[in-house]
Chain A
Amino acid sequence: MFKILKSLSKSLGSSAKATEAKPAAAKEGTLLDKVSKVSAAAAKAEPPKSPEEMCGITPKMSKDEVKAQLKLLFRRYNRSASSLDAKLRNEADRMLDAIVQMREKHFGEI
């Protein structure tokens, strides 16, 4: 495995591979804007329904897998819950609610 240095502007501008997953990113605006727009757009792409879908929990997953997934998501969204971008913050809050619900469903109440 090797790592190629890539800055955001290059990845957004020239590399098709890099932008593949994030079509909304190749717009104008500052770089930081782009980063936040990427995630806002990604969140909007498919309106999530159940907490299961929001957290990507499937019936096939083992208890350990569910736990690991919830931990990863908590770390991620707890961080964006302190974002300066109100949109990201609200989205994070909704995710955290779903994460808590999933925990209670699979592992019981605290």
Chain B
Amino acid sequence: MAEYVGIDLGTTLSGLAYLKPDGNPEIVPNADGERLTPSVVFFESHEDVKLVGSAARDGGEPDRTIFQIKRYMDDPEHLVEIDGKKWTPAEISALILSKLKRDCSKICGDINEVVITVPANFNELARKSTIAAAEMAGMKVRRLVNEPTAAAVYYAHSQGVKGRILVFDMGGGTLDTTILDVDGDSIKILTSEGARHLGGSNFDDILLEAYEEQYKKQTGAALYSGERHRRRVLQATEDAKKMLSKLQRVNDTVANDTNSGIARIDLSRDQFEKMIRNMLTRSVFLVEQALDSAKLKPSDIDHVVLVGGSTRIPKVKSMLEKIFGKTPKSCGNVDECVALGAALFAKKSSRIQEVCNASYGTLAMVYNAKTKEEKLMNSIVIPKNTPIPCSRTQVYQTSEDNERVIEVDITQGEDEDAKFVDVIGRLTLDVPPNRPKGCEVAVTFSYDENQRVRALVVDKQSGRSKEVAVTYKGAGVLSDEELKRRSHHLRAMRIE
């Protein structure tokens, strides 16, 4: 049996690693002989088989092929309908995880418990869906760990470094920047900032537009008329993008699916860099945001570590070098280190100090004595980046005489402006009648290692209190029974 196993469930590629007896992690290849498995599922109709990986990516019919399901892990309305059955993002992910489990256990032994990585800014629902996916695939989730944390664990392990590290993880779908303190085996996360939809596939889309434009200009026709051909061209743009990480120029020819002739595409690295500059500037903002959150300057960072396939783009490296004045290092294979780190994390998690990924608070009327202004604001109780586990209390006052019910909205988000935070739950507490306004109410939030939040409201005068676990209960979260039923179903499927 493989005791310590880590899985990187990526937007475009997924990988599994286990800890060898000598304490070093190793990537386990799938049954197709690949170290990483494309996160693509094809629902084959004739043989009733679900293909996962390269075969699915390269072969299938577009309307039966699912790409990038990770982008929808927190969308309860995103259902994929195939032959009349509706699949949730968690179920599709479960198919990918099932393949990894089935294929890899032939090499490293049975896999029962795993650590799975998620982007640092994955919300509660996306985290839950990820856990549900693993359970459906027949694996217990020991812990979820943030992708940049896992990468840093691997970097620290393999390079034996000490000091303050900034991990810049730009993958296929997301960008994460995390700052951490490393000293031997112990790691302290200082902050994580993420951009949900910033990654390699955005660059592919931008290139696709350029291809379309060129094609139109040269032939007067549209480059594709259907999804199947669009996918093919998109694959070609991804290949061109990768070539431009090595070469200054690429030449390509493209044809459409309605015989309108061939167009020549001539693309330089310079042009490509211009096209993606907007996206890269956003990534610089995010790096600065991480530095600000940790109250650090670029010169306070000892090592800049590159993670994720998109950091192979030379401009990404030079842009970071410009900010930090030092050459960023990659930790071995940039698209394997997250899985490798997750396997290490499975064993070492107790040595790693993590922080809250978001701020939690409540809505309050805040009265400013100076300006005499009163404003509805998001009042933060636990600020983002507080080391976890933790618990914080803030005391408020009631606003009206004879208030009978105290309502506390639970918010997630850093913004002071209530418009820009999410209200993720509500707690109501009945209190005795006939009291004047201004009674004190204590609101306490606690945050545990699994990034779960609890809220407690105490009415100080009456001593009455109420506590709830802050969780997404509504749409998109399966009941335990339903989860069991679906896991059972999934285990009987042919997945290759």
Q: Which residues on A are within 8 Å of B, measured CB to CB?
A: 1-11, 15, 17-18, 22, 31-32, 35, 38-39, 42, 70-71, 74-76, 78-82, 84, 96-97, 99-100, 103-104, 109-110
Residues of A within 8 A of B121 (CB): 82
With A11-B365, A74-B285, A75-B414 in contact, do A4 and B396 touch (Cβ < 8 Å)? yes
Task: Report how far A100 CA is from B281 CA in the complex, Å.
Answer: 6
CB nearest neighbor in A for B398: A5
Least Cβ–Cβ distance between A56 and chain B, in angstroms: 13
Is B228's beta carbon under 8 Å from chain A? no
CB nearest neighbor in B for A7: B407
Residues of B within 8 A of A2 (CB): 366-367, 397
CB nearest neighbor in A for B174: A82
Is B413's beta carbon under 8 Å from chain A? yes
With A1-B369, A81-B195 in contact, do A32 and B423 touch (Cβ < 8 Å)? yes
Residues of B within 8 A of A7 (CB): 363, 407-409, 426
CB nearest neighbor in B for A32: B423
Task: Report how far A84 CA is from B75 CA in the complex, Å.
Answer: 7
Task: Report how far A9 CA is from B287 CA in the complex, Å.
Answer: 37
With A84-B74, A110-B280 in contact, do A5 and B420 touch (Cβ < 8 Å)? no
Task: Report how far A84 CA is from B286 CA in the complex, Å.
Answer: 21
Least Cβ–Cβ distance between B173 and chain A, in angstroms: 11
With A4-B396, A5-B441, A5-B443 in contact, do A80 and B420 touch (Cβ < 8 Å)? yes
Least Cβ–Cβ distance between B357 and chain A, in angstroms: 12
How many residues does chain B have at the interface if contact means C-beta atoms less than 8 Å apart? 53
Q: List 8 A-B contacts (CB under 8 A).
A: A5-B398, A6-B365, A10-B407, A74-B282, A76-B417, A79-B415, A82-B195, A109-B281
Residues of A within 8 A of B281 (CB): 100, 103-104, 109-110
Per-position binary interface string of chain B over residues 265-282, scored 1 when its CB falls under 8 Å from any chain A CB and 0 otherwise: 000000000000110111
Q: Which residues on B are within 8 Å of A, measured CB to CB?
A: 74-75, 77, 121, 195-197, 277-278, 280-282, 284-286, 288-289, 292, 319, 322, 362-369, 374, 376, 379, 394, 396-399, 406-409, 413-415, 417-423, 426, 441, 443
Residues of B within 8 A of A84 (CB): 74-75, 77
Contacting pair B277 A109 (CB below 8 A): yes
Residues of B within 8 A of A32 (CB): 422-423
Task: Report how far A78 CA is from B415 CA in the complex, Å.
Answer: 12
Residues of B within 8 A of A11 (CB): 363, 365, 376
Task: Report how far A79 CA is from B413 CA in the complex, Å.
Answer: 8
Contacting pair B397 A5 (CB below 8 A): yes
With A5-B443, A31-B423, A71-B285 in contact, do A81 and B196 touch (Cβ < 8 Å)? yes
Please tell me which one of the listed residues A4, A10, A17, A78 contacts residue B282 in the complex, with CB atoms under 8 A apart.
A78
Task: Report how far A18 CA is from B418 CA in the complex, Å.
Answer: 11
Contacting pair A71 B289 (CB below 8 A): yes
Give 4 new A-B contacts, CB below 8 A, not counting A71-B285, A78-B286.
Answer: A6-B365, A11-B376, A76-B415, A100-B278
Contacting pair B394 A3 (CB below 8 A): yes
